[in-house]
Amino acid sequence: MGIHETLSRLGLKLPGAPCPVGSYVPARQAGDLIFVSGVLPFRDGIIEHPGKLGRELTVKEGAAAAQLAMLNGLAILQEMMGDFSCLKQVVRLTGHVASVEGFVDQPAVINGASDLLVKLFGDAGRHARLALGAFELPLYAPIELELIVQVSPAKAGP
């Protein structure tokens, strides 16, 4: 089953790839690795669930924001690769969680993104990870994700 069929079964779909909000590119390939820049939980150009975990958002809402940010990251990858047939594995996910002092459930929040990767790619979606708290994130976003994936060398771009 392909990624789009799995997403549909989960009641999800890839959005259009979000535009950068600064002076950077959404992703850059180096050899067989693609580095996806920081991705926020945008829906139709607006941050969904703005605020901080432990104040405006619950862990469940934060996990939903992490899942949305991951969908945006996957949309960037699709735009770059054309499809996901050349994706060999997800190497690393870094999740930044805007948190109030004393909030320590960042790993549970980032599970919203990690669990989606495993549902979509199976063992190839299992990854190394860092989930950490941040005092503030751009545009009052609750989540910012960075992603590194490996692609098949035969299908890797320039």
Per-residue model confidence as pLDDT tens digits over 96-144 = 999 999 999 999 999 999 999 999 999 999 999 999 999 999 999 999 9
Beta bridge partners of 33: 30, 150
Handedness of CA 81, 85, 86, 90 (dihedral sign): positive
Query: Span 28-34, mean pLDDT?
Result: 96
Q: Which of 15, 13, 14, 23 is nearest to 138 (CA)?
A: 23
When pLDDT is averaged across residues 74-96 and rounded to a whole number, the result is 96
Q: In this structure, what DSSP letter does residue 57 have?
A: B
Task: Count the domains in the chain.
Answer: 1
Domain extent for 129:
3-18+26-155
CB 100 within 8 A of CB 81: no
pTM of model > 0.85: yes
Distances (CA, A) of 13 to 7, 16, 55, 97, 144: 6, 10, 29, 23, 20
pLDDT band (50, 70, 90) for residue 13: very high
CATH number where 137 lies = 3.30.1330.40
